[in-house]
Amino acid sequence: METSPLKVLFVCKGNHARSIMAESIMRRLPGGTFTVFSAGSQPRPQINPFVVRLLTSLNHDLTGLAPKSWDDFARPGAPELDFVFTLSETAANAVPPAWPGNPTTALWTLPDPAAFEGDDVQKALAFADAYRMLNNRISIFASLPLATLQGMALQHRLDAIGQDKGRREPAGVPSAPREDAA
């Protein structure tokens, strides 16, 4: 892999919760190793308010975060992507555009916190749990020796990160549904 920042795109259906959190988490990584984006197959008009509250409480910079279409990343002049991570089953089942740069792709689905039904405290816990899972996966990805991993070895590592079996629900909160509400 090259030494200039690697371009990473996180996609899901609405680009208002999981992919926005993933973009924000990766933007905070030190070292300028990654340029990160997020998009949705059917983007919502605004970021989910629970995401805004969570990211703000964790001192994330929300500048420039907004739902956008994944088609924006397939247009002429779009950045040549190195990695595309799909975070929702709905987006995984949709036909994606042809990404410039022939990126390595991986499926990193996780429960949609926006689909969680419960009171506001329980919903906030579902979003916090999704954030925790994304933070764990992104930390593992960022620590990979990307300059030396290639081909099937790289794909195997990325797939393993997405199949993490360490999913735990917040104490006292039932599992969020696997289907995408948005």
Query: Quick check: is 155 in a domain?
Result: yes
d(CA 98, CA 91): 14
Enter the tokens of residue 62.
């929300």
Which pLDDT score is estimated for 3?
67
Phi (first) and psi of residue 86, to 5 degrees: -95, 125
pLDDT, one tens digit per residue, over 19-44 is: 999 999 999 998 889 999 999 999 99
Query: pLDDT-based confidence at 79, cuts 50/70/90?
Result: very high
The SS3 assignment for 12 reads strand
We report the CATH number of the domain holding residue 108 as 3.40.50.2300
Task: Select the more confidently predicted residue: 177 or 20.
Answer: 20
Enter the tokens of residue 95.
């036909």
Query: Quick check: is 173 in a domain?
Result: no
Closest of 103, 180, 129, 104 to residue 21, by C-alpha: 129
pLDDT, one tens digit per residue, over 127-169 is: 999 999 999 999 999 999 998 888 899 999 999 999 874 344 3
Mean pLDDT calculated for residue range 3-18: 93
Q: How many residues does the structure list for the chain?
A: 182
Query: Quick check: is 1 in a domain?
Result: no
Query: Quick check: is 169 in a domain?
Result: no
Using alpha carbons only, how large is the chain's radius of gyration in Å? 16
Query: Quick check: is 171 in a domain?
Result: no
Regarding pTM above 0.75, the answer is yes
Query: Quick check: is 136 in a domain?
Result: yes
How far, in whole angstroms, is CA 14 from its chain's centroid?
12
Query: Quick check: is 118 in a domain?
Result: yes
- Indicate the number of domains in the chain: 1
Structural domain of 33: 6-162
Query: Quick check: is 106 in a domain?
Result: yes
